[in-house]
Structures are given as structure tokens and as C-alpha cells.
Structure 1
Amino acid sequence: MSSSEFIKGTLKTIILKLLAENKQMYGYEISQKVEELSASEIKLTYGALYPVLYKLENEGLLVAETEVVDGRARKYYSLTPQGVELAKVKVSELQKFTETLKNILLPAPNISLEIWGA
């Protein structure tokens, strides 16, 4: 999937949902989970993921804790109670929006796809 504008518009919701389901994750783990769940269609870059994580932290929606794993510091992110509530709202909104888009993008039953070259 090459359209970064779709990813940019949904990344906050994706992160909130993953953290709500997994309690705590570190950045690389989030990017790997997104890649896995999207069958490698979505690959998050450092430059896309971390600014959103920092913004969510500054907004009080998640907290970060640093742990040393195998001699290296790893920053784990988890949702605050406010973040959990926002995750529910954002996922619900995105699901509704996706359904609305489907209704718009699917051809009407009476319309021939010939106008689209199909």
C-alpha cells in the first residue's frame, strides 16, 4: 500500500488500538505488529511512528517506561485511562467511516462497471 496519506490519517487510531489490546508495546514491536496484521501492506517508518507516540505521550494518552533488555534500553508505551477511552472512540469512528466509504465506493447495483473500463 503506497498511500501514506491514508496511513497518516489513521496512525493514531492504529497505535491506540494496538496498545489497548496489548497493554504495553515498544516502538519496533508496534511497527512489526502493524506489518504482520496488514500482511506487509503497511510498513511504518521511524519518522512516521515516533512523532505520533511522542504526541500521544504529551497529550497524556500514553505513558512511557524505559526498561533495560539484553543490555539495551527499550521504551515501552502503555495507555492511560484517558487513552483507553479515546481508543474506543477512535476505533468506533474509523469503523463507521470505513463503512461509509464502502457505501460510497461500491458501485450501485444498477450501474454498469463499463464506465470504469471493467
Structure 2
Amino acid sequence: MGNSKLYKGSLTTIILKLLEEHGKMYGYEITQKVKDITKGELMITEGALYPALHKLEAEDLLDVEVVKVDNRMRKYYKLTEKGSEETVNKLKELEQYIRNMHVLVNPKWSID
């Protein structure tokens, strides 16, 4: 995997985008989806994921649904209306950041 510090600042955006696409997901499912999508290049640890999920829940961006699966309780996370709005904002911020980075590392590119 590349520099994990580069990804750390994007974790919230990654979580919000996955939940936007998939409706509701549980923690392990999120880690596996990221691993699959990136072909193992990015692996989100539980130590990074769960604090981020709890923070998003505290900010009223996520709802939590607890479901019994195979005699175990599983927490599913899904976006609130506020979370859906924040997803749009975070994706716009990320797109602008990527454009700016392209300009900085390759001055031949133009933001226009």
C-alpha cells in the first residue's frame, strides 16, 4: 500500500461514498469493499474505521441499525439526510483537492 497518511484524511469521504452507493453496510463489509475496490492497495484497519464511524454517527451523518445475524448482533450504518448532503460536499472538496494537486505536481495542467 502507498502512504497511509495520504488516505487517512480521506477516510470520512470513503465511508460516506460507500454508504451512498450501497445503502447500508456493516464495518467489516466496508473494510472488505475498500480492499476489493483497490485490489488490496488500501486496507482500512478496524482501529481507524470504528472511531470514524462513531464520529460520523455523533455528527448525525449516520444512522445505526442493529440486526441479529447468525445469533450475533451486527451494526449496519446508513446515511442520514444530513449525511447525504455532507457526502456531496466531501466529494466536491476531494475533487477540488485532486485538481489542485495535479496543478502543483504537474504545472502543465490547468484547473480550467
TM-score, normalised by the number of residues in structure 1: 0.87
Tell me the distance in 2 between the aligned counterparts of 1:77 and 1:66.
9
Tell me the distance in 2 between the aligned counterparts of 1:107 and 1:56.
36
Deviation at 1:2, TM superposition (A): 3.7
Match of 1:37 in 2: 37
Match of 2:26 in 1: 26
Tell me the distance in 2 between the aligned counterparts of 1:97 and 1:31.
24
TM-score, normalised by the number of residues in structure 2: 0.91
Deviation at 1:107, TM superposition (A): 5.9
CA-based RMSD of the aligned residues comes to 1.4
Match of 2:48 in 1: 48
Q: Is residue 94 of structure 2 the alignment partner of residue 94 of structure 1? A: yes
Tell me the distance in 1 between the aligned counterparts of 2:108 and 2:20.
37
> The residue matched to 2:9 in structure 1 has which SS?
helix
Match of 1:9 in 2: 9
Structure 2 gap ranges (5+): none
Tell me the distance in 1 between the aligned counterparts of 2:95 and 2:20.
16
Tell me the distance in 1 between the aligned counterparts of 2:108 and 2:100.
14
> The residue matched to 2:10 in structure 1 has which SS?
helix
What is the number of equivalent residue pairs in this alignment? 109
| Structure with the greater alpha carbon radius of gyration | 1
Match of 2:103 in 1: 103
Tell me the distance in 2 between the aligned counterparts of 1:21 and 1:92.
16
Letter in 2 for 1:52: A
Deviation at 1:15, TM superposition (A): 0.3
Residue identity over aligned pairs, in percent, reads 48
Deviation at 1:108, TM superposition (A): 4.2
Match of 1:83 in 2: 83
Structure 1 gap ranges (5+): 110-118
